[in-house]
Amino acid sequence: MTPSLDSEARKRDQEDLEGFELPFFQKLVVLLWALLVSILARLTDLVLVLGRPRLLRPYLGIWLAERLRSPYRARRTFEVVRALRSTGQRFRELIYGETPLMTALWAFRRAGLGADSRLVDLGAGRGRVLIAARWLGAEAVGVELLASHVESVAKWLVPAGITLEQGDAARAELSGATHVFTNWLALTPETKAKLVERFRTCAPGTRFITVAHPIEAEDFVLRSRHRMLFTWGFEFVWIHEYRPG
């Protein structure tokens, strides 16, 4: 990347960060709300994984990995810069919240996920969604952009039969998926367009669960919409089915 392009990338990233700045009292309310939701989500998560003891150690392991070492906490680490350059994404697309287990289970049941299903989570983060898929007995595969994040988290997920791979979501292997989950909250239109093209490699009948926005493209039929709780607040979850032609 040339110096001028690098400068432009830094400017865009700073604008992305400034977009999340709030006045003091608004920020305080948001932080208190986030803390409340985090506590609620953590407690319900623990109740759920206690019902599936084999998932308890992986769940606690990914939480520990996040606390000790997460490249997503740094604004501009070398790996973040390299990953963004390789995929053409913007920094704000790496800013994300999480999906509590209760929310993922609620959405998955409505999408028909079960023991004979294979879920692929694009932008899997710590892997809570993948643990929810395993809770239902489904095969669970996650794709995450940053290699160091995958390295620190994947080893905890393996004992639960979960696979977390490093890669670009727009190039992920989806041919065997029955369900695809992705959080579209912060994605740019360009990234969404790339993902939709990738979605078209799936078999007819594949179901897609998207957060915040529906898939606005031909051949993706909306089945239902639900308002659900995430770590940042309530958001719509959209369930689609791929029906080409």
Q: To the nearest whole percent, how much of the chain has pLDDT over 70?
A: 78
Lowest mean pLDDT among 2-11, 20-29, 111-120, 236-245: 2-11
Confidence of residue 77 (pLDDT cuts 50, 70, 90): very low
Token pair belonging to 224: 């239902």
Q: How confident is the model at residue 188 (pLDDT cuts 50, 70, 90)?
A: confident
Bridge partners for 163 per DSSP: 141
pLDDT at 37: 81
What pLDDT does 187 receive?
Answer: 83
pLDDT confidence tier of residue 6, bands split at 50, 70 and 90: low
pTM: 0.81
C-alpha dihedral over 221, 227, 229, 234, to 10 degrees? 110
Distance from C-alpha of 150 to C-alpha of 234, rounded to nearest angstrom: 27
Give the list of residues 6+ apart from residue 193 with CB closer than 8 angstroms, or none: none
Task: Give the CATH number for residue 163.
Answer: 3.40.50.150
Give how many domains the chain has, as a whole number.
Answer: 1
The predicted pLDDT at position 8 comes to 61
Do 113 and 179 meet the contact criterion of CB atoms below 8 Å apart? yes
Expressed as residue numbers, the domain containing 168 is: 3-242
